[in-house]
Chain A
């Protein structure tokens, strides 16, 4: 019999499977929770249980929320004519944090990847084409990664949206705010130079 009870070991094993946590940090987190049983452990357990029961995937855009359609899709203050296509929910959160986009979203659920065996059939593209074909939508923004897989996916979406009467745009590639030219890689510099525009 080891020094750790099977119940606690189970907690550690589950924590160790979370992103960013290995066995050592999982043990540390488990100890922290056990030491603060009333303030941390029970409230975390309750919060996780509530989330598991309440969180659903929005059938319209693929966002995670407690209601379907989600609060972004049902918010009448948002601009329904602009649809921003992102890879994952984390990307939607990033754009919401920036608080610069006030339109609707569409989450693809990944990008094409030969190595991971992800093809067009694995992505949420069909519903996107249907949404983009609605008369109210005038612009689709492809906010996908500036990677080979991200841009291959963007080109595929452009093909699929060929018949839809919408303007298709993508995020700019180039020098980040606060970036110094001397420290940029040649690819980013080339992209920035190619995408230059007049003042």
Chain B
């Protein structure tokens, strides 16, 4: 077995003295593990940081074997954010979520492409939060738990959609939501509009919405909770949103 693919490093676990078992999100082969020899070398270490984009070659005698990776052309994104707590938290959150939620060796090219777009915009603080929220929305959809945000579940209108039903995952218009506000989840406007510029508060509301469904539909059935890195992103984003409001 032998293939080549583009991959994004999700993480690496030390194996023996100099090797590592590396998890990549590949475009055509999904979340895929493999052994990397010489993982601690100066040349290889940057490519094994979460969020690094690599050209991967995977080889194994049989398809079901762990196999070994040869990684080339690493494009490292982590260095841009090592000193930025919020962006670093976002990078670790999306990596941990992909690692924890995606089944092994099941291709999800749309999620790979979305992750790539997220990395491309990681330095733009007004843009990456919305890409991250939409990526999580895509994660739900790819795993068969997509939210229906096109029209109001009650009236069928597709305007002024402001909330989501926690039971059905369908949008509800402001008018129909009015009597049930305490029971519905907030739907921030950027999630249904073609815009990527969002405030921290809107991004937080978006992550609360996707987090609610990720937790209940993907993690809870397996008796697991959302990755710690995602909780930490929520806390950090919450603090950042509060600071922005105070300054404003």
| Chain A interface (Cβ < 8 Å from any Cβ of B) | 19-20, 112-116, 119-120, 146-149, 151-152, 155-156, 158-159, 173, 185-188, 190-191, 194
Contacts and interface: CB of A to CB of B under 8 A. Distances in A.
Nearest to B42: A185
A115 B23 contact: yes
A148 B85 contact: no
Given A151-B83, A152-B92, A115 B12 contact: yes
Contacts of A116: 13
Interface string B77-110: 0111011010011011001100110000000000
A190 B82 CA distance: 11
B188 to A, nearest CB: 26
B88 A148 contact: yes
Nearest to A114: B96
A17 B99 CA distance: 29
B88 A114 contact: no
A148 B91 contact: yes
A187 B85 contact: no
Given A115-B11, A148-B92, A185 B227 contact: no
Interface of B: 10-13, 17, 23, 42-43, 45-46, 49-51, 74-76, 78-80, 82-83, 85, 88-89, 91-92, 95-96, 99-100, 227-229, 232
Given A148-B78, A148-B82, A151-B82, A114 B229 contact: yes
B67 to A, nearest CB: 18
A149 B43 CA distance: 18
Given A115-B12, A115-B13, A115-B23, A190 B79 contact: yes
A155 B84 CA distance: 9
B88 A152 contact: yes
Nearest to A20: B17
B49 A147 contact: yes
Given A119-B228, A148-B78, A185-B46, A155 B89 contact: yes
Task: Please list the 7 inter-chain residue pairs (A to B) with the smallest Cβ-Cβ separation, ordered nearest first.
Answer: A187-B79, A114-B96, A115-B11, A155-B85, A187-B76, A151-B82, A119-B228
| Prevailing SS type, chain A contact patch | helix
A59 to B, nearest CB: 27
Contact of A115 (B45, B76, B83, B99): B99
A116 B20 CA distance: 12
A38 B13 CA distance: 41
Nearest to A176: B42
A112 B89 CA distance: 11
Contacts of A185: 42-43, 46, 74, 76
A186 B79 contact: yes
A173 B83 CA distance: 10
Contact of A114 (B74, B76, B83, B92): B92
A191 B13 CA distance: 25
Nearest to B239: A159
12 contacts: A19-B17, A112-B228, A114-B95, A114-B228, A115-B10, A148-B49, A148-B91, A151-B83, A185-B43, A185-B76, A186-B76, A190-B79
Q: Which of the listed residues A112, A114, A120 has the most CB atoms from chain B within 10 Å of its own CB?
A: A114
A151 B88 contact: yes
Nearest to B100: A114
B228 A148 contact: no
B178 to A, nearest CB: 39
Contacts of A114: 11, 92, 95-96, 99-100, 227-229
Q: Which of the listed residues A19, A20, A113, A191 has the most CB atoms from chain B within 10 Å of its own CB?
A: A113
A190 B51 contact: no
A191 B77 CA distance: 11
Nearest to B23: A115
B50 A148 contact: yes
Contacts of A147: 45, 49, 78
A152 B231 CA distance: 13
Contacts of B80: 190
Contacts of A186: 75-76, 79
